[in-house]
Structure 1
Amino acid sequence: MNNQLSKISTQYRKFSKGQYIEEKQFNEFLDFFEDQDRLSRVMLQGVGIVCGLRPEPVYKDRFLNGIQLSQGVALTTDGDLLTLSNTGEVSKELYVSDLRTIGIQSKNYTHFKIYDNFKVKYPAFYDADNKQIELWELATAQEANSDFQPINKLSGIENKYLLLYLEDYEKEVKPCRGVDCDNHGIQQIRNLKVLVTTKEGIARILEKDKIQPHPLFITDMMTGLKQERVIIERLILERGIDADFSSLDLKNLYSGILVKNNYGENIFKKINAISEVFGISGVDHQGFKQKLITGLAQTGGFQYAYDVVKDLTDTYSEIIKLLPGSFAGCLPDLLSFPKHVMLGKVASDFQLDSSRHQFYHSPVLDDKKTTSKVKVLMNRFKQQAQNFRYSDSFEASAVVKITPSQKTNPLGNKAIPFYYNVTTEFLKAWSFDKTANRLSGYNLGYDQGLLSTDNHVQKPLDFNIDKNSFYNIEGHQGMNHQEAFDQITQIRNQRQLGFDVMLLSFTELKNNKDLYRAYFNEYVDKHPGLEHTRGVERGGTFVMVYEQNGRSTNVIADFSLPYQCCTPKVEVKLSLPKTTVCSDSGLLPFTVFPANGEVKASVDAGLNGGVKQNNGNYVFDPSSVSEALYNTDISFTVNGKTSDCSIKVIPQPKVNISVSSVDYPTNGSSATTVHFTVSGTGFAGYEYNWDFWDDGGFIPLKPDGNGMLTYTLYNLNPKQIPMIKVKVSNKECVQTIALRDWYKGPVEEENRVPVAIANASYTNIQLPTNSVELKGSSSYDSDGTIVSYVWKQIGTTPAIASIGNPNTADTAVTGLVEGTYTFQLTVKDNKGATASNEVMVTVNKAAERNPSLTEIGNSTTGSGSGGSRTQTFKVGQNVSAGNKFQAGVYSVVLTVTATASDTPDTVASKLRDLINNTTREQWNAAGTAPTGASGFPPKASSSGDTLVISLNYQNQFFGSASVS
C-alpha cells in the first residue's frame, strides 16, 4: 500500500544552474509539495464524502439490472480526492496514462467479478488472520471484459455494502535498454474501484475506522425524550370536587412520574453512550437518583425534583438537535480510511447509515462551533446532575426572589434555577454563547455569588426586561403563605411586573373576602390549566398552594396560569402634591380613590416608605422614610393595586462648616484671610454659595476634596465684623449655615475726625483790591496728622475766582469782583478721616469820589428871571474803574432860589452845590428840576474826557458870578 502521509516530507532542495539532478533530489521535491497539498486537504478541509456518490439499485422486470452511482466527491484520510470519471482520451504513449473526464452525472454498474487485492494488501480488507474479506469489483458495461459477469448473478446484492477504493501502488518498469531511457521510471498506479462487500466485511472495515463511529448511529439516539406532564385536574376528576386533598396528594403526582421513568434513567443511558463516543466521562445516574429520593422524602421541594429531570431532558434535546452537524474533528486519524470511503448499504432505508462515511470537516470550517456546543452541553448535563440540591433547611433560609427569564428553550437562555449549586464550572457550562464570549458571569440566576457585580446582573429587574417573557419566582416554598404573598406582591408592585398572585388553601375557606385567596378544589375545577412552571409568564397568574401544618400555614407548591385571574379590575387613583421632596419637609396629603382605599408603599421588607395616617387620612411623611430609599422613586399601591403615583425623597444636606483659622492683617496689609473646614457625609457632592459680607451677595465656591476652603476679605472693619452665611444645596434641598463671632483679631481704637479751620487774610475788601490769602494751617488732628488739604469755591457767583494752589494749607485767591464768595477747606488725616470748614469773603464796590473838574469854557444866555448857561469841564483826578464818568452833554433845569442878600458869588456857590448834589439819574432826566437833590454827578469814562453841562435857570443870574 502506498500511503503518502505515512511518511511526510518536511523539506526539499532547490536546483542550481547547471546542476546534475539525481532521482532522489527530484523525487524529494515532488514529495514535499504533494505532502503539503494532501495535508492542507485533510487538516484544513476535512475527510469523508463531500457530496453525491449515492447508490441506487436499478431494476428491470423486477430483477436487479445494475447499481447506479451518482457523481460526487470524497476525500480519504491520506488526502486522495476521489470522484467518478470516464476515459476521455487514450494515450498513444506506452507508459503515459489515459486522460479522463469527470463531467458525468452518474455511472451504471452492471457487471461484477471477484476482487483480489493481492497487489496492494490494503490492511482494511484483511482480518486478524490476514485473510481478505469478501470483495467484488463492479464495472459498467463499457468497462467490463470477459472476466466480468452480469450483476444479477450476484446473490443478495441488496444486502451488501458499497466501497469506493483507490488501488494505489507502484509498478516497477523493466530496466531500459538502448540509448533513450527518458520514458522509463517507477509507475504510480492509481485505479479507482467500486467494490461490494458483505455485512461481515463492512464490520471488519469499521473496526479499524476511528472516525466513523458517531452518536448518530447509536440505535434510537435521535429519538427525542419527553417528560410526562403533571395534570393537577386529575385529582378532581378521579376523586371529585368534594374530596379532601393534602400536600401528599400533590407529591404523589410528581413522584409517580419520576418513579415511572426511573428518575430519568433512559436519558442518562443515552448521554453516557454519546460520552463514550466522544471519549468523555459519563454521568452517575445512581447518585443522582438517590438525591431525588432524598428530596422527595422531605416535606417540600418535590416539584423541584420533577423540574431538574425536565431540565436534563431539555439539555438532551438540545444535544441531539446539534448531533447531525457535529462531524468536526481536529487531527483526523490518518489510518481510518486512507484509500477508501464507505458508500453505505446498496439498498438502505436509513437516511443516516453507519456504513456510509459522512464528511468530517475541519474545525476551521465549523463556523457554528457545533461540535464544541455538543461537548459543552454534555458538560452542562453532567453539572446539572451533580449540582442539584434541595432540602427543607435550605429552603427555610432562602429569600424570595423574582428573576427575569425566558419561557421557551434553549435552557441556556433562561435564568439559572434556585435548586442548583452554582459553581464556576457550572456557570461555564450553562450557556455556550456567553462562555464563548467570556461572559459566563453575565448569566442571570437566583444564586448570584459568582455572577458579575454589574447592577444589571445583580438587580436585573431595575433594567430593561422587554426581551424577558417569564419570571422565575423562587425562595417562597416552605415560607408562611401570607408572608410569601406579601413579599412577592411587594416586589411585583415595586418593579411594576405584569402578573397576578393567588393563594389556594387545601382547607375550605369560610366567609372569605380576600380576592386573592381561594379554595384549592374550586379553583382547580374552574382553572384546569394550572401547571408548575417554577414561576409565571408575563401577563399570567402565579398560584401558591398552602397547607395547615400545626400552627403554621406554609407554601408547599406553586403553579401558574397563562392569563391573569381572578382579582377584579377596580380602578384606583393616587396622587401627591409633589414628585420630589426634601427629607425634612412636612407631611404631604395623599389624594386616594376609592376614598377608603388602603395605601401602602412598595418597598422592601424592613424599610419605611413614609406612609402613615393622620386624623384618619393617609399622608406621606418624608422625615420617616428609610435612608436606603433616598434618591429612589417610591411607588405606592391602593388596595394592593399598583398606582402611577411615586415620589423621590432627597436627603437634606447635613454639613458642618467651621472657621479653622484666620490670618489677620500685618505690616500695613488690609487682607484678612479666613480658612474654612467643611465636613459631613457626601459634602463633596453639594453646591455651596457664600455671603462673606452679610450683604446678600452670594458667590459659588466649593471646598476641595479634603473639605478645605480659603477666602480673603479686604479692608475689614474690626468694629463691624460681618456674619458669614453659607447655603448648601443638592439642587432640591438647601441647608443654611451662619458663622458668627469668627473674628478673634486685635481691635484698633476708633479714629477721631480731624478739625478743619478755614480763614482768610481779609474777609471784607473793597475794590479795587481783588485778592485775599486763604488760610487753613490752623487745622489739626488730635490723634494723628493731617495728610492733605483741598480748597474749593462753593458756587460760581459772583464770578469764579482763581485759587493759586488748592492743595496747600494756605493759598492766594485772585480775580475777585464785587460780591460775596464762599470758600471750603477739606482736610484728611493719616487714617482716612476727613473734615470740612468754610470761610466767606465779601468784595465791596470801589468808593465814588468827586472827580476834579477844570472848566475850559462857559457861556450864558438870558438874564433876569431865567436863561441858560453852558459850562464845559475837563475831567481830572479821582476817576476809577468802578466809578467812571460817562462822556456826553447833560441838560437839567436847576432852580436856584436867590435872596435879596445874595450876591452873584453866593448864587454861583449855590449853583455849584446844586450841580454837585444832583444824581446821575436826575441829570439824565431832561426837563426836570428836582429840589433837595443828592448824589454824585454824572461820570466820564476816563481822565481827560470832556463833560459839558447845560443849565437852564430861572432866577436872576449875575454874569459876574462863577462856578468852579
Structure 2
Amino acid sequence: MNKQLSGISALSSISTQYRKFSKGQYIEHTQFNEFLDFFEDQDRLSRVMLQGVGIVCGLKPNLTYANKLLSSIQLSQGAALTTDGDLLTLNTTSEVSKDLYVSDLKTINIESKNYTHFKAYDNFKVGYPAFYENNGRGEQVELWELATAQEAHSDFQPIRNLSNIEEKYLLLYLENYEKEVKPCKGVDCDNHGVQQIRNLKVLVTTTKGIANILGDDFLPMPDPVDGTIPPKIKDLIQPHPLFIEDVLRPDKQERVIVDHLIVNNGVEKKISSADLKDLYITALEKNNYGEFVFEKINKISEIIGGQGVNHAMFKNVLQQCLDQQFGFQYAYDVVKDLMETYSEIIKLLPKSFTKDFPDLSSFPKHIMLGKLASGILLDSFRHQFYNSPVLDDQKAAQRVKVLVNRFVLQTQNFRYSTSFEEAAKIKIIPSQKLNPLSNKAIPFYYQSTKDLLKTWNFDKTGNRSYQDNLGYGIDFFSPNTQISDDPLHFNIDKNSFYNIEGHQGMLYEEAFQQIKEIKDKQQLGFDVMVLSLGELVDNKDLFKAYFNDYVAEHSGLEHKRGVERGGTFIMVYETIGRDARVIADFSLPYICCTPKIDIKLSLPGTVICAEADHLPFTVIPVNGEVKAVVDTVLNGGVEMFNGKYFFNPQKVDKSLHDKEITFTVNGKPTNCSIKVISEPKVNIVAASVVYPDGNSGEVTVNFTVSGQNFTDYNYSWDFWDNGGWVTLKPNARGFVSYTFHNLIPTRIPTIRVQVDGGGCSQDIAISDWYEAQVQLSLPKEKDVICSESALTPFEVSPADGEVKAVVNTSLNGGVEMLNGKYFFNPKKVDKSLHGQVIHFTVNGQSTNCSIKVITQPAVTVVVKSVDYPSGSSNETVIHFKVSQQIGQDFMNYDYSWNFGDYGNQSPVNPDSDGNVICKLYNVNPKNIPVIKVMVSNGDCNQTISLSNWYDPPSVPTVVINSIKFPKGNCCEDIPSAVLAEVEGDKNVSASQGSFTLQGKGSGALNLDYSWFQTYSDNGKTLVLDVSNEEIVKVTGLYTGSYEFQFMVIDADTGVFDAKTVKVNISR
C-alpha cells in the first residue's frame, strides 16, 4: 500500500514492511513509496522513542527595543524534536535552486535570526488542528508569522506594530503539506511527482491561542453529521509537576523543643504527659498536619497519573492517635516522614522529564518556545526536552513516581493504637541519622506491606532486593544461611543510628531492662536513662532522674524515635494508676550521666612508626567509645573494625607526628598515650658517574640526598650488594661520593641504603645507575665530507644506542636511521652547518666522533662561443660562460680545464662576469676532445663535461677567384635567431621528493643548454641532477617560492635566449 501524507502526523500510521526489488522488475510508484515510507518511519520512530521530544537546546527569544519600541525579536539557533519525529532547526537559504521544481539549499550554520517584520498567518494550506478552536473544527486562533528583513515582503509590517507583547507567545511550526509539482503529459514524466513542502515558520499567538494549542480536559462534542466523537486534541506531554506553583518549596516540620516547658513555666512546675502532648499538637497544628505537602502531592499525582491522598481522613487518624495517653509522638513522626518523602521528590523533579512512550499527537508539527516577554527561567508555555528512558541513567522520572506512591502508602499504612504497642516487643533496628528516608529503617508504626517495601527504596527494588529493607515488622535473613536473624549480628559500621521501638506503654522497668540487655549483648554504642515526670525522693538509682532537673541541665532533648551512635536514649514515664509506664522518649547526641564505671584503655606500645600496621586497643568497658584528644579537624588515628577499636598510625595527621597523643573513653581521659615517629622520607639518586679513563678500573659515583631533615638521619650503604654495610653521612648539601675498584661492567650491583631515624627506617635501592661507555665512529675516520656525498654508516656501541647530532633542535644534523642502522647523510645537513664541525652523542653521552660538511660546488659552465682559426692561424679560442646557483659564489672556486690530447690548463678562473677564455692550437677536426672542467673549493670537487662544442664553418668546395659587387652594396653577417621555450609555472608538494623542469631550444643546429636557480624566498638552494640538458630533475625540496632560468645558446654564434619558470612548493 502506498503511504501518502496522512492528515498531519506522519506517525499516525506507519509502514511495517517493504519489498526488495528483483532484477528487471518494473517498479510501481506505490512500491517505491512504500520503501521510502518504511525507512522514514523508522528514522522518525528512532528519534521519538530512543532520544526524546521537545526542545533540545537553544531557540531562546531576546527582545530588542529602540526608543521604547520593539525593534526585533532575536531567536537563537537551537534544535527541537516534534512528537512526529521532525528535527527542527533555524535555517537560511544558502543556494537558490536554478530548477523550478527543485527546492533551494539551506544552511543551519547560523547563531541566530533577527525577526523584524510580521504579518497575520493563515493556515489554510494545512489546517493544523491545534491551531483551530473547538477541538480543530472551529475558527483559527490568532497567529502572526515573523520574518527577517531579508524574508519580509510587501505584506509584512514592522515588528514595532505588534501590540500587547506581554500577552504574546512564541511558536516554532513546521508547515508540512503536499504539492503537485507538474502534471504528467505525453511520455515525459521526469518532473512529475508530489512535492513534500516543509516550511519552518516562527509564529506568535495570544494567551487564548496558546491555551487552545495546549488543549483542555473537556470531552470533544460529537460530529454533527455522523455523530462520531473525534480524537481529543491536547498536549499530554507538556504538563509537568515542575510548573506547579511553589512546588519546589520545601516544607519542614517544626521542631519540638522540650526545654520550653521548663523555661516558660519554671523548674518547680510539675510537667504532665498532657503538657508534652500539647507541644506536639501545637507543632502539628501550625502547618495543619502537613496540609501543604498533601496539596502538592495531589497536584503532582494528577499530572503523572498517580493516586491522590485524602488529607482530611489522614488528619482524623492523627487526631485519634493524639487522643491516647502514649504514642502521640508517632503522629508527629509520620508527618515528619511525609515531609522527608516530599523533599526527596522535589529534588528529583528538575531531572524527571523522561517519557516512556510520548503521546504522538501532543505537538506533531509545532514547538512552544514560551511567553515572548517572560522573565522566568521555567516557563510552562515552553516545551522542555522529554528524553527517552534510554537517556535517563538516574531514572529520575521513575523515582518520582515511586516516591509519590510511597507517600500515598505512608498515609494509608500508618497505624498506631495502645493495644498495638502493648502487644509489641522491643526491637533495636540499625538505621541512618542523616541520609534520606529511603535509606533509613522503616518505622514500626507503618504496616510493612509488600507494596510499601517496594516503594521504600527505589534502588533496592530495582535490584530485586526490596526485602532487604530493615524495619520493625520485617524479617531479616542472614546473607550466609538465609535463616531469619537479627541485623545487629552483622556489620553495622555504616549505620549511625538505632531505631528503638515497641517500648512506649510498657512498664518503664521492663523497657529499661530489655533495652539495656540488647545494648550490652550487642555492644551498641549508646547509653540509656529514664526520667520521671513526678519528683523522686531518696533516689539512689543512677539511671533514673527527675524530668524537670534533667531537662534544665540538658536542654538538647529531642524525640528522634531512637538514638544516634554515641548518644543517650531517654525514656519518660508517668504513673498511671498503679503502673509507671513509658509515655514518651527522647535522645541526646552524647552519653550523659550514667553510673561511674572503671575506664581503662591501653595499647601494646607507646611509640610507633608512621608507616607501621594498626594496633588494637584494650577498652574497658568493652562498649566504650574511644576518641583521640586532638583538634577536631585532625585525624588522631582511631578506627573501628567489626565493633573493635584500633590505632592506625598511617591515618594520623602529619602535624601530630613526634607528639604524644592521648585518648578518652566515653569522653573521659585515660592514661593511654602513644607517639607516632615520622619515618625518614628521603630521596637518593646517583647524580653523576665518573667512568674509567684509559686502563683505569675505577668508577666514582656521586650521590645526591634530598628530603626534609635529611641531615638528621643515619645512613648505611651496601655498595656491592653483598651485605657489607658502610656508614656514610651526606654533607650539608646532600653529597656522598664512593669509588668502585675493579668493577666489572657486566656485573653491576644494586646499591642499597638504609636510612635510620628515631627508631624508624627507610630502605632505598638504587639500580640502573651504571651506563656502559659508548663509542661512535665513521668509516676511515672521516672528518670532512662533501654535501652531495652518499650515505655513510656509523659504527655504534652499544649496538642499540641512540645517535644524535649536537646541533640546534630546529636544524637537521644529518643523522638518519635505515633498516635499524644509523647513517650520516650529508645531503640532509642544514646549509647553515656547512663548514662547521658536527659532533655526535650516543644515548645522550658525548663521543669523539665528529665531521665537517663542505658545500659541494654547483656551478654551470657553457661554451659561449668559439673563434676558429682563419688564414694561416692554427689558434682556436674558446669562450666559456660560468654561472652559479643561489647560495654559491663561483669566484670562490678553482677551475681546471682538461682538453684531452690538447693538454690541461689550470688554474684558469672566470672573471667577475663569469667569462673564461682558453686557447687550443692545431686542433684536428677529427679529434675533438670532450672538455672536462673540474671546479674545486679545496675539499669538494664538481666535474662538468662539455661535448659537441666544436662546429667550424663549412669549407666551400668552389673556389671563386674574384667577385665584384655593385657600388653601394654591402653584406652584413646576420646571426641566427635562437628561441628558448619552457613549460608553465609549477605548484608542487614537498612530499613528492622531486619534480622536473622541461625546456626546449630552437633556431640553430648547434645548441647548448643551461638550467640554474635564480631566486628563493627562504634562502634555500635546491639540487639539480644536471644543468646542461633540456630536462632536469630537482630534489632536496623545501617549502617556499623559487625561480629557475633556462638558457639556450647557439654554440656557433654565441647568440642566446632565456626564459624563467616560477615554482611554488607547499607541504
- TM band (smaller chain): 0.5 to 0.7
One-letter amino acid matched to 2:189: C
2:717 is matched with which residue?
none
Listed as ranges, the matches of 1:605-616 within 5 Å are none
- Selected match of 1:430 from 456, 460, 481: 456
- Selected match of 1:519 from 523, 546, 559: 546
- Selected match of 2:315 from 289, 293, 303: 289
Distance 2:543 2:200 in 1: 79
1:106 is matched with which residue?
112
- Selected match of 1:238 from 253, 264, 271: 264
The answer on 1:119 being equivalent to 2:146 is no
Write out per-residue CA displacement over residues 862-901 of structure 1, whole angstroms, 9 at most, x where no aligned residue: xxxxxxxxxxxxxxxxxxxxxxxxxxxxxxxxxxxxxxxx
1:422–1:450 CA contact under 8 A, matched in 2: no
Listed as ranges, the matches of 1:810-825 within 5 Å are none
Q: Following TM superposition, by how much is the alpha carbon of 1:521 offset from its aligned partner in structure 2, in angstroms?
A: 1.4
Distance 2:138 2:266 in 1: 74
Task: State the TM-score, normalized to the length of structure 1.
Answer: 0.58
The answer on 1:338 being equivalent to 2:364 is yes
CA change 1:532–1:284 in 2 (3 A) is same
1:423–1:450 CA contact under 8 A, matched in 2: no
Distance 2:326 2:593 in 1: 26
One-letter amino acid matched to 1:512: N
- Selected match of 1:152 from 148, 160, 174: 160
Listed as ranges, the matches of 1:652-667 within 5 Å are none
Write out per-residue CA displacement over residues 99-119 of structure 1, whole angstroms, 9 at most, x where no aligned residue: 111111111111111111111
CA change 1:121–1:111 in 2 (3 A) is same
- Selected match of 1:530 from 549, 553, 557: 557
Distance 1:256 1:303 in 2: 12
Distance 1:381 1:119 in 2: 50
One-letter amino acid matched to 1:186: V
One-letter amino acid matched to 1:239: N
Q: Which SS does the other structure have where 1:498 is aligned? A: coil
Listed as ranges, the matches of 1:568-587 within 5 Å are 570-572=597-599
1:462 is matched with which residue?
489
One-letter amino acid matched to 1:76: T
CA change 1:482–1:143 in 2 (3 A) is same
Q: Following TM superposition, by how much is the alpha carbon of 1:244 offset from its aligned partner in structure 2, in angstroms?
A: 1.1
- Selected match of 2:239 from 213, 217, 238: 213
The answer on 1:171 being equivalent to 2:179 is yes
Q: Which SS does the other structure have where 1:494 is aligned? A: helix
- Selected match of 1:378 from 389, 400, 404: 404
Distance 1:434 1:424 in 2: 13
The answer on 1:446 being equivalent to 2:472 is yes
1:84 is matched with which residue?
90
Percentage identity across aligned positions? Answer: 68
Distance 1:451 1:135 in 2: 66
The answer on 1:488 being equivalent to 2:515 is yes
Distance 1:348 1:510 in 2: 71
Unaligned runs of 5+ residues in structure 1 are: 576-592, 603-632, 634-639, 643-964
CA change 1:343–1:601 in 2 (3 A) is closer
2:53–2:386 CA contact under 8 A, matched in 1: yes
1:88–1:99 CA contact under 8 A, matched in 2: yes
Q: Report the more deviating stretch, 56-65 or 201-210.
A: 56-65
Listed as ranges, the matches of 1:334-733 within 5 Å are 334-449=360-475, 458-567=485-594, 570-572=597-599
Q: Following TM superposition, by how much is the alpha carbon of 1:171 offset from its aligned partner in structure 2, in angstroms?
A: 0.9
Distance 1:310 1:111 in 2: 56
Distance 1:327 1:573 in 2: 59
Q: Following TM superposition, by how much is the alpha carbon of 1:309 offset from its aligned partner in structure 2, in angstroms?
A: 0.9
Distance 1:455 1:332 in 2: 43
1:314 is matched with which residue?
340
Q: Which SS does the other structure have where 1:108 is aligned? A: strand
2:59 is matched with which residue?
53
Q: Following TM superposition, by how much is the alpha carbon of 1:572 offset from its aligned partner in structure 2, in angstroms?
A: 4.8
CA change 1:339–1:269 in 2 (3 A) is same
Q: Following TM superposition, by how much is the alpha carbon of 1:438 offset from its aligned partner in structure 2, in angstroms?
A: 0.8
1:49–1:75 CA contact under 8 A, matched in 2: yes
Write out per-residue CA displacement over residues 573-601 of structure 1, whole angstroms, 9 at most, x where no aligned residue: 799xxxxxxxxxxxxxxxxx99xxxx999
Q: Following TM superposition, by how much is the alpha carbon of 1:64 offset from its aligned partner in structure 2, in angstroms?
A: 2.0
Distance 1:233 1:58 in 2: 60
Q: Following TM superposition, by how much is the alpha carbon of 1:379 offset from its aligned partner in structure 2, in angstroms?
A: 1.6
Distance 2:272 2:30 in 1: 90
Q: Following TM superposition, by how much is the alpha carbon of 1:17 offset from its aligned partner in structure 2, in angstroms?
A: 2.0
1:442–1:457 CA contact under 8 A, matched in 2: no
Distance 1:517 1:307 in 2: 26
Q: Which SS does the other structure have where 2:114 is aligned? A: strand
Distance 2:142 2:560 in 1: 59
1:777 is matched with which residue?
none
Task: State the TM-score, normalized to the length of structure 2.
Answer: 0.53
One-letter amino acid matched to 2:546: Y
Listed as ranges, the matches of 1:754-765 within 5 Å are none
1:95–1:184 CA contact under 8 A, matched in 2: no
1:44–1:362 CA contact under 8 A, matched in 2: yes
1:441–1:451 CA contact under 8 A, matched in 2: no
Distance 1:131 1:406 in 2: 61
One-letter amino acid matched to 1:521: N
Equivalenced residue count is 588
Listed as ranges, the matches of 1:741-760 within 5 Å are none
Distance 1:62 1:601 in 2: 76
One-letter amino acid matched to 1:517: K
1:572–1:641 CA contact under 8 A, matched in 2: no
Distance 2:500 2:331 in 1: 16
Distance 2:465 2:440 in 1: 15
Q: Which SS does the other structure have where 2:113 is aligned? A: strand
Write out per-residue CA displacement over residues 195-223 of structure 1, whole angstroms, 9 at most, x where no aligned residue: 00011110111112111111111222222
One-letter amino acid matched to 2:534: T
1:16 is matched with which residue?
22
- Selected match of 1:74 from 70, 73, 80: 80
Distance 2:282 2:423 in 1: 28
Q: Report the more deviating stretch, 241-250 or 153-162.
A: 153-162
One-letter amino acid matched to 1:259: E
The answer on 1:193 being equivalent to 2:220 is no
1:416–1:443 CA contact under 8 A, matched in 2: yes
Q: Which SS does the other structure have where 1:64 is aligned? A: strand
2:523–2:622 CA contact under 8 A, matched in 1: no
Q: Following TM superposition, by how much is the alpha carbon of 1:552 offset from its aligned partner in structure 2, in angstroms?
A: 1.5
RMSD, aligned α-carbons: 2.8
Larger gyration radius, structure 1 or structure 2: 1
Distance 1:261 1:413 in 2: 26
2:8–2:364 CA contact under 8 A, matched in 1: no
CA change 1:26–1:396 in 2 (3 A) is same
1:769 is matched with which residue?
none
CA change 1:107–1:457 in 2 (3 A) is farther
Q: Following TM superposition, by how much is the alpha carbon of 1:28 offset from its aligned partner in structure 2, in angstroms?
A: 1.3
Distance 2:109 2:182 in 1: 36
* Structure of higher RCO (CA pairs closer than 8 Å, 6+ residues apart): 1
